[in-house]
Structure 1
């Protein structure tokens, strides 16, 4: 696998794990097979024109949108089991972590350790709470023609927290063993550079400088991405599935900043910058 660290705002980033082609061809674990089957069933339900399946999918998608993007990111990291731990420790093959060096603080390993550890207690508590409460909803199954939605929801949330917890443990293991190889990707730096530099234009596009990071740290938190940027990032990293993760993270971070009263002119500035870029592209295409 390889990891991506994608800044959503100047103070929040999304971690995402992409499996390599060789790993995709391996036999799936029992839990992964169940997950795959559930995803296929959910996809079939989405095709229903009406009925309880359609309604369940509609509300289920809303619930999934509310799951924190941090949890989704940790869930993308494969669980750490005894076999994987032994193999990774024996091979000592370092996992690449691709990130934009001009948008992340120099202490990249410290940032990764924070992501790996800060939510472990939360996922552990909520995992056990979900698994303990789920059986108490069993009497609902006695009602004919009505699926036991509370049970399935609690079971899903319990699994989701379990997966995020084990993903965070895997990331922490890689950090403790020194098996991570942070790489600042020039393409990502060029993508983020126009979103980072002050209006004075002193920092050139594609330039990685400690000054840029210091400028970010001194300012209030501001959005770096829009919902549509996920597709472009997916192309740069050859990970089209990243678009959904970025879109979800952007929506959640934006809502949080709006609720905290931190977004004043940032969104307008970002939208204005996008319009200028589109206009430049149109002029270039017309020549």
Structure 2
């Protein structure tokens, strides 16, 4: 059990050249949390909630393969909605907290020895990989600010979407098409709940002093721009090196997709912020 815990890793990738400000007045950063893989011998049967999620994902994908009709239209529109969801939410909700260090064990150890961060007698250290150039603010300080903002925000929106579910009941009288408003509200509530739980969990790990900032030569290469690159709203995050990042750390293709989406959103936010500032100066 102890060895896999040490393979949990957090990656911090700044997304804007001028460190464009987010609503929390901190730089835009894409955080990806790589959780330990479950050993086959420990995996056992798939939990009910994961089977439900797999069924939902397969059903959604099948709608995208439809030859027309309302299923394809719903899938097409739904994909556009997904593209607009904040990359921070998507990154947090993908964290499976059940695979990380048990907070209860870390808390008991802290009570005995406040300077110790171990689980089962094995040191628990979670590297926070970041490019060397990410130094202002310090990566760990930024992560703290990020989690302190995202946690309460996702908790609030979880309750808002949960409260909207009862109002979808009238749509159940339509017998042909599923109650799409209900499923949408339930999905948004679930997404914000997952993001809140992840933010709360990561914040606890930071408080237990197990997250350690770690400069990464691989990420430094990711931030090396070609000589032909021109200055724009993005920091020198070289998209051509993203496959190297994915392969070096054995990340999934989904991570590459989410990183690309985060880059696009950061660019739009930076442009919007620049336009707003220019309007204020007039």
* 8 Å Cα contact 2:162-2:185 kept in structure 1: yes
Match for residue 214 of structure 2? 183
Alpha-carbon offset, residue 247 of structure 1: 1.0
CA-to-aligned-CA distance 1:27-50 (integer Å, 9 cap, x gap): 554433322221122122222121
Give the one of 156, 166, 170 matched to 2:201.
Answer: 170
Q: CA RMSD in A?
A: 3.0
Number of matched residues? Answer: 242
* 8 Å Cα contact 1:127-1:161 kept in structure 2: yes
Q: Compute the TM-score of the two structures, normalised by the length of structure 1.
A: 0.74
CA-to-aligned-CA distance 1:173-227 (integer Å, 9 cap, x gap): 000001112221111112213379xx9xxxxxxxxxxxxxxxxxxx996443366
Instruction: Choose 99-108 or 169-178, whichever is displaced more.
Output: 99-108
* 8 Å Cα contact 2:16-2:270 kept in structure 1: no
Match for residue 75 of structure 1? 93
Alpha-carbon offset, residue 71 of structure 1: 0.7
* 8 Å Cα contact 2:225-2:237 kept in structure 1: no
* 8 Å Cα contact 2:242-2:256 kept in structure 1: yes
Q: 1:58 and 1:124 mapped to 2: Cα distance? A: 28
Q: 1:105 and 1:138 mapped to 2: Cα distance? A: 49
Alpha-carbon offset, residue 15 of structure 1: 0.8
Are the structure 2 counterparts of residues 123 and 80 from structure 1 closer, same or farther at C-alpha, using a change threshold of 3 Å? Answer: farther
Are the structure 2 counterparts of residues 83 and 99 from structure 1 closer, same or farther at C-alpha, using a change threshold of 3 Å? Answer: closer
CA-to-aligned-CA distance 1:64-107 (integer Å, 9 cap, x gap): 11110111111122247999322455615122222212234362
Match for residue 285 of structure 1? none
Alpha-carbon offset, residue 52 of structure 1: 1.5
Q: 2:184 and 2:49 mapped to 1: Cα distance? A: 17
Q: 1:224 and 1:195 mapped to 2: Cα distance? A: 9
Alignment of 1:1-287 (within 5 A): 1-10=8-17, 11=19, 12-22=28-38, 26-27=43-44, 28-79=46-97, 84-87=102-105, 89=107, 91=119, 92-105=123-136, 107-194=138-225, 222-225=234-237, 230-239=242-251, 240-261=253-274
Alpha-carbon offset, residue 241 of structure 1: 2.5
Q: Which runs of 5+ in 1 are unaligned?
A: 200-218, 264-287
Q: 1:252 and 1:165 mapped to 2: Cα distance? A: 21
